[in-house]
Amino acid sequence: MYRKFYGLRDLPFSLTPDPRFLYFTASHREVMANLQYGIEQGKGLVVVTGEVGTGKTTLLRAIIRQFDSSVLASYVFNPGLTVAEFYEQLASDFNLGPAGSRADLLRRLGELLTTRHTNGLRTVLIVDEAQGLSRELLEEVRLLLNFETHTEKQLQIVLVGQPELRRVLNSPDLRQLKQRISLRSEVRPLQTDEVSAYIRSRLNVAGAERLDIFAPEATGLIYRFSEGIPRLVNNLCDNALLTGYALDAKRITAAIIADTAESLDLVSSLHGNEFQREKIETAKVKGRSRRKRDQRAIETAQFKVISGPVDDEEDLKTG
């Protein structure tokens, strides 16, 4: 709905982990390089952690997209699987035939890994949301790392999860697994000066005619509310564009962001920080008179969001 108004081809701030939109901050670049290096060099176990919404899944999708035909990958994103279900998925992703017994399956997997390794081909197991893996599955992961030659691992395993994953891997009963981690990295939130570049980059991928839709003070405020978490930045920006559209505002101002953050309940998280609250209050006062006048327009727009399925469908398509 606001696409035409802002001259956009696609929705720039969808919440799906679409790798087309990936913007490389120093942290995202480092994690990507770690993953590529670990997989290419046969490093075995690679662990990536990061807060919710920092871009872990998006990075994984980007790297899977980059794999050529020499890489065979299994992507597990449901850590609640039982051991049997886990092996069923492996058997299916690695074309091992019917799962059968665990011992039989491991034998076939071993054969596959040896053949592939001899031919210079890589085999990768990627587990997303790995902080939720059961102890039994973590033990299986450790056993799978035993497929190795004298110099290299035959199966590369990537565990990706929330910071909780670090705590899990630090527990005394998992020290054997912990010792096998060869590379670790962390996806960090956007830094204050990265938010503006991030927003412009996403606008650009969405085919924007103008990249200065968000005023500099607006991006400053977006950083404060989101604390640099990309998912929150997206949510704020998407809602702000909607409000801006309702207000007929070609430029998203700090006042619009303050308003939007309040409606998304992002303001409460800043309680206690006087400086931030003061800035937000100033931005709100500036926008207040215009807000009153345009309150009805905003309500109409919000009604459109709730009742309009069109953009949701597009979200799913990009996912």
Ligand X SMILES: Nc1ncnc2c1ncn2[C@@H]1O[C@H](COP(=O)(O)OP(=O)(O)O)[C@@H](O)[C@H]1O
Binding site for Mg ion (CB under 5 A): 56-57
Choose the binding region for ligand X from 15-23, 29-37, 143-151, 249-257 (rule: CB under 6 A). Answer: 15-23
Quick one: which of 23, 87, 223, 245 contacts ligand X (CB under 6 A)? 23
Q: Is 249 or 257 the residue whose CB approaches ligand X more closely?
A: 257
- Nearest Cα to Cα of residue 140 among 166, 159, 122: 159
Rg (CA), the chain: 23
Residue 185's binding partner among ligand X, Mg ion, none (Cβ under 5 to 8 angstroms by kind) is none
> Is 121 among the residues that bind ligand X (CB under 6 A)?
no
Asked if residues 104 and 115 have their Cβ atoms less than 8 Å apart, the reply is: no
**How far apart are alpha carbons 248 and 92 in whole angstroms?**
52
**How far apart are alpha carbons 242 and 298 in whole angstroms?**
8
> Is 79 among the residues that bind ligand X (CB under 6 A)?
no
> Is 214 among the residues that bind ligand X (CB under 6 A)?
no
> Is 57 among the residues that bind ligand X (CB under 6 A)?
yes
Q: Is 105 or 127 the residue whose CB approaches ligand X more closely?
A: 127
**How far apart are alpha carbons 177 and 256 in whole angstroms?**
49
What tokens does 123 get? 């085999």
> Is 234 among the residues that bind ligand X (CB under 6 A)?
yes
> Is 21 among the residues that bind ligand X (CB under 6 A)?
yes
> Is 230 among the residues that bind ligand X (CB under 6 A)?
yes
**Residue 292 burial by Cβ neighbours in a 10 Å radius (0-12, 13-18, 19+):** exposed
Quick one: which of 34, 54, 74, 260 contacts ligand X (CB under 6 A)? 54
Return the DSSP state at 9.
S
Residue count, binding to ligand X (CB under 6 A): 20
Residue 231's binding partner among ligand X, Mg ion, none (Cβ under 5 to 8 angstroms by kind) is ligand X
> Is 284 among the residues that bind ligand X (CB under 6 A)?
no
Which residues neighbour 63 within 8 Å (Cβ) at sequence distance 6 or greater?
32, 35, 36, 39
Quick one: which of 5, 10, 15, 186 contacts ligand X (CB under 6 A)? 15
- Nearest Cα to Cα of residue 141 among 129, 155, 151: 155
**How far apart are alpha carbons 251 and 256 in whole angstroms?**
9
Q: Is 162 or 253 the residue whose CB approaches ligand X more closely?
A: 162
> Is 17 among the residues that bind ligand X (CB under 6 A)?
yes
List contacts with ligand X (CB under 6 A): 15-18, 21-23, 25, 28, 50, 52-58, 230-231, 234
